A and B are shown apart, each in its own frame.
Chain A
Amino acid sequence: MTTTDITLSAVEDGETKALTPGEIFRQRIFGHKGFLLGAGLILLIVLVAIFAPLLAPHDPYAQSLSSRMLPPVWDDAGTWDHLLGTDQNGRDYLSRLIYGTRVSITIGIGAATVGLFIGVTLGVIAGYFGGWLDHAISFLLTAQLALPGLLLAMALVFIIGPSIWVVIGIVGVLHWTYYLVVTRAATQRIRSQDFIAAAAASGASSRQIIWHEILPNLLSSIIVIFTFELGIAILAESSLSFLGVGIQPPTPSWGLMIAEGKQAMFYRPWLVILPGICLFLLVIGANLMGDGLRDITSPEGRNG
């Protein structure tokens, strides 16, 4: 308490060279190695997804039965033509991995966004209005948490029929609980603050209070959960594809590639290891970025 008071007055009297909030923010970003690494990884993967046609050396769908299961270039039998070798159907593995980023990124962002809308809407409603609405939504949350997620997703995809949009929808619909828990608690805390009462006393409606006063204060926690959910959704898609109910062949998806490679896992381990590494990098990148965002946007600046 004592120290913050002093620093505040340090900023306001202006005679000393205090850092502006922008400068402090920049300092925090560039001083946070985890965030830089995570954001760098995510940026790289997004760029690869966007420029996949330019980067891929081969058509990811072109089969060549004469060059099936070629090993990567560092193996004795590898060739420079297929840097990371080929799969069971003789398709270039590097090109398929590059195109696979598109599926992973689309599903990650799409599913995390679907979850965001469901979770934040319910969370804000439960936290703001309370009462029986809160009870009902909390019951919904308990019910959702009691369901075995992956099993339910499998069943749903199987019934509706697999496609990338169905996978996005179902993974998203099943991953809103974290948003709900966090936004509900944060909304309850913000709601009891005096600036909400001040807005109400100025004649603001509940809708105006939620949009103008509450949501801006939830923004940083929503961004952080989004990056975490991104990683979780990508893993969920991989699991579904691995189990055969996610993305359908011949679309290149990392999860599907692991599933297809597992038959030959013992004598061609690269077929499983390579997409596994890609998946690992994407998820760790998303998590590092989320951790970093939390540190950077939190007022006290944990790693300031």
Chain B
Amino acid sequence: MSTLLDIRNLSISLKLPDGTLHAVRDVSLSLDRGQSLGIVGESGSGKSLSALALMRLLPRGAECRPTRMAFDGQDLPAMPDAAFAHEIAGPRIGMIFQEPMTSLNPVYTIGRQMTEAAVARGMLSGSQARKKAIDLLDRVGIPDPAGRMSQYPHQMSGGQRQRVMIAMTLMLDPDLLIADEPTTALDVTVQAQILDLLDGLRRERQMGMILISHDLAVVAERTDHVAVMYAGEVIEQGAAAAVLRAPAHPYTQSLLQAIPTMGADPARLGAIPGTVPSLMHPPTGCIFAPRCGYRRPDCTSARPPVQQAGAVHDYRCVLSDPPTARPPAQPLAGHGVAGGEPVIAASHVTQLFQSRKGLFGPKREIRALDDVSLALRRGETLALIGESGSGKSTLARIMLGLALPTSGEVTMLGRPVAELTGTERASFVQPVFQDPYSSLNPRRRLAEIIARPLVLRGEGDSVSRARSVEQAMDLVRLPKRLLHTYPSQLSGGQRQRVAIARALVTRPEALVCDEPTSALDVSVQAQILNLLDELRAEMGLTCLFITHDMAVVHQIADRVAVMYQGRIVEEGNARDVLSRPANDYTQRLLAAAPRFDAMPEMEAAR
């Protein structure tokens, strides 16, 4: 098999106002024809930048220095930009982006966007291109492909748009397809279909593929080779099975322990202490040393050598034998509490949204919730699962009392929620939202943000409030030196802790968490899930946890309710629902979830 892509010692630096950011350092990757390479890493690890460098799509001011970057034997850096754009980008290397909602131009028809590139390059005539486009749309599973050609992107769903994007890249028959988080914005069932499609296409056309993802389960299932990136460096790479089943580098090992799995009994997740180092001044030694459990003096003095862990498996560490001792699994602190009496109950709730096109347009009605009844019991963690648009966030807002349903009743502690005042509701239940970047007021300091619920309730004086704020920050394990910083100075995980601290400062009895970890990296997700478990044990919190991630449900939930198109289709004990789903939709949802179970020796150690 011939080498399709060979990148050696790629470094990328970005000029920022306050210095130079060494975003990617000394990355070497290679890919054979027809093979697939997975690049995994947390946000900021440089995985996307490496791919963008290959496509010459780096942001302005970025400097890219490989010692060699060859595609099919051709030296890429030597090519002039115009020749590259004409011969390589498109016909030889195609790229699919993360956001299907923004990667198609909304003012052109699907047909025009698909045929444009091939016709403009003179590769196909207009009618040939049209025929090919219809064939490809059919191949990627778009129903009625000929009719779709004259439609606009807004007439399609996110999954369909991503299929169109894939079909569009295939129009030019590339030899290499780069997929940068192609399914991150999509629902699990759609994700599985898209990944199956990419897999099939790759085999059928003998294409090379680079799959960039933060999701190790996706990469483990779909690729032959894996490169694990951390803070701009490839710290481990090799055959997918070897790297992800028997990881050698301490970082990869800890990352795998941070992922909730569906297999065994839920146990405390392994969190990686500390944060990613600054890439302004990268250390001379091992990049992972400050957070590593096996740190030795020689880790920080020089860059560790590349060690062989197997035939096609190497890692960069001072330890010549990969560490095998794994920390014993710790049981969850607050798991498995039987629920008491219902504290928030929704009965026969229906929510309609009406919208009008323009001032005189016809009314449209959307049934977001359809006769939903759900009770949250004292002390339990109830997971509400479903795909986007299933109405789970709407239900959460109604159960919080932030919105009143069109019909039906919600009671909180036995009283109708409409009769309670804002502060009464607030003292019992508090929300935690999905996006930590929008849930904190960017113009307020942490001390003000966390104290705000106390001020609104008129509770205590400034001294007692300051004390409560400090206690809340202790609860969520935030250091006190952050008291007077603004949210923009914090990382995503720290912000989510602030949001939880704000929710807990008034000592509520219940939390409604709307996808609190889906915007976070796995290692940060592990910290937050562990924290919620500890808080359950310490405060006896009742928790409504909304998520789409089955492994997270398995990790924290006592009871599960599955929503589909505004209805609750299945409800029951978490273990029963996950192992023996009765409803057809739940079965599909579970089958589609990428699994990451088989790690024999790790499971044995637990």
* Residues in A lying within 8 Å of B, measured CB to CB: 1-3, 5-13, 15-16, 18-19, 21, 24, 27, 135, 193-195, 197-205, 208, 212-213, 216-217, 219, 299, 301, 304
Assess the B17–A200 pair: CB atoms within 8 A: no
Assess the A216–B443 pair: CB atoms within 8 A: yes
**Within 8 Å of chain A (Cβ to Cβ): is B605?**
no
* Residues in B lying within 8 Å of A, measured CB to CB: 14, 16-18, 21, 23, 43-44, 46, 48-49, 59, 274-281, 359, 397, 400-402, 421-426, 429-431, 433-435, 438-444, 452-453, 456-457, 486, 488-492, 494, 499, 502-503, 506
Closest Cβ–Cβ distance, residue A28 to chain B (whole Å):
8
A residues less than 8 Å from B49 (CB atoms)? 2
Closest Cβ–Cβ distance, residue B64 to chain A (whole Å):
14
Interface of B is mostly: loop
B residues less than 8 Å from A202 (CB atoms)? 422-423, 426, 430, 452-453, 456-457, 502, 506
Assess the B21–A12 pair: CB atoms within 8 A: no
Assess the B502–A12 pair: CB atoms within 8 A: no
The 5 tightest CB contacts between A and B, nearest first, are A203-B422, A194-B439, A10-B278, A203-B423, A194-B433
With the chains together, A216 CA to B274 CA distance in Å? Answer: 33
With the chains together, A4 CA to B438 CA distance in Å? Answer: 15
A residues less than 8 Å from B46 (CB atoms)? 2
Assess the A198–B433 pair: CB atoms within 8 A: yes
Please name the residue on chain B nearest to A192 by beta carbon: B438
Closest Cβ–Cβ distance, residue A128 to chain B (whole Å):
15
B residues less than 8 Å from A15 (CB atoms)? 277-278
Assess the A12–B489 pair: CB atoms within 8 A: yes
Assess the B489–A201 pair: CB atoms within 8 A: no
Assess the B421–A203 pair: CB atoms within 8 A: yes
Assess the B44–A198 pair: CB atoms within 8 A: no
Assess the B44–A203 pair: CB atoms within 8 A: no
With the chains together, A172 CA to B440 CA distance in Å? Answer: 35
Closest Cβ–Cβ distance, residue B121 to chain A (whole Å):
31
Closest Cβ–Cβ distance, residue B572 to chain A (whole Å):
28
Indicate whether A304 sits within 8 Å of B489 (C-beta atoms), given known contacts A2-B43, A18-B278, A200-B422. no
Closest Cβ–Cβ distance, residue B293 to chain A (whole Å):
18
With the chains together, A194 CA to B397 CA distance in Å? Answer: 11
19 chain-A/chain-B pairs, Cβ below 8 angstroms: A1-B43, A2-B43, A3-B16, A6-B278, A6-B279, A7-B16, A8-B490, A10-B279, A13-B278, A18-B280, A24-B18, A195-B438, A202-B422, A202-B423, A202-B452, A203-B424, A208-B456, A216-B443, A216-B444
Assess the A203–B488 pair: CB atoms within 8 A: no
Assess the A212–B43 pair: CB atoms within 8 A: no
Choice from A5, A12, A21, A199 contacting B44 with Cβ under 8 Å = A5
Interface of A is mostly: helix
Closest Cβ–Cβ distance, residue B184 to chain A (whole Å):
12
With the chains together, A299 CA to B397 CA distance in Å? Answer: 30
B residues less than 8 Å from A195 (CB atoms)? 438-441
With the chains together, A7 CA to B277 CA distance in Å? Answer: 10
B residues less than 8 Å from A197 (CB atoms)? 397, 402, 431, 433
| B17, B48, B397, B490 pick with most chain A CB within 10 angstroms | B17
Assess the B439–A6 pair: CB atoms within 8 A: no
With the chains together, A234 CA to B397 CA distance in Å? Answer: 49
With the chains together, A160 CA to B437 CA distance in Å? Answer: 52
Assess the A201–B425 pair: CB atoms within 8 A: yes
Assess the B426–A203 pair: CB atoms within 8 A: yes
Given A194-B438, A197-B433, A216-B441, 19 extra CB contacts under 8 A:
A1-B43, A2-B43, A3-B59, A5-B276, A6-B279, A7-B21, A8-B489, A10-B279, A12-B494, A15-B278, A194-B433, A201-B401, A202-B423, A202-B506, A204-B422, A213-B441, A217-B441, A219-B443, A299-B488
Assess the B425–A203 pair: CB atoms within 8 A: yes
Indicate whether A21 sits within 8 Å of B489 (C-beta atoms), given known contacts A7-B16, A10-B280. yes
Choice from B21, B401, B431 contacting A198 with Cβ under 8 Å = B431
A residues less than 8 Å from B488 (CB atoms)? 8, 21, 299
Indicate whether A16 sits within 8 Å of B21 (C-beta atoms), given known contacts A5-B44, A201-B426, A213-B441. no
B residues less than 8 Å from A301 (CB atoms)? 17
Closest Cβ–Cβ distance, residue A295 to chain B (whole Å):
12
| B46, B400, B430, B438 pick with most chain A CB within 10 angstroms | B438
Assess the A12–B275 pair: CB atoms within 8 A: yes
With the chains together, A19 CA to B422 CA distance in Å? Answer: 41
Assess the A18–B438 pair: CB atoms within 8 A: no
| A21, A135, A195 pick with most chain B CB within 10 angstroms | A195
B residues less than 8 Å from A16 (CB atoms)? 278, 280-281
With the chains together, A1 CA to B400 CA distance in Å? Answer: 32
B residues less than 8 Å from A13 (CB atoms)? 274-275, 277-278
With the chains together, A268 CA to B23 CA distance in Å? Answer: 65
Please name the residue on chain B nearest to A193 by beta carbon: B438
| B46, B435, B453 pick with most chain A CB within 10 angstroms | B453
With the chains together, A294 CA to B491 CA distance in Å? Answer: 26
Please name the residue on chain A nearest to B22 by beta carbon: A6
Indicate whether A3 sits within 8 Å of B21 (C-beta atoms), given known contacts A201-B430, A203-B426, A203-B456. yes
A residues less than 8 Å from B422 (CB atoms)? 200, 202-205
Choice from B23, B441, B457 contacting A203 with Cβ under 8 Å = B457
With the chains together, A304 CA to B18 CA distance in Å? Answer: 9
A residues less than 8 Å from B492 (CB atoms)? 5
Assess the B44–A6 pair: CB atoms within 8 A: yes
| B44, B48, B499 pick with most chain A CB within 10 angstroms | B44
| A7, A19, A197, A198 pick with most chain B CB within 10 angstroms | A198
Closest Cβ–Cβ distance, residue B275 to chain A (whole Å):
5
B residues less than 8 Å from A212 (CB atoms)? 452
| A7, A135, A299 pick with most chain B CB within 10 angstroms | A7
Assess the A9–B21 pair: CB atoms within 8 A: no
Please name the residue on chain B nearest to A205 by beta carbon: B422
With the chains together, A8 CA to B503 CA distance in Å? Answer: 24
Closest Cβ–Cβ distance, residue A25 to chain B (whole Å):
11
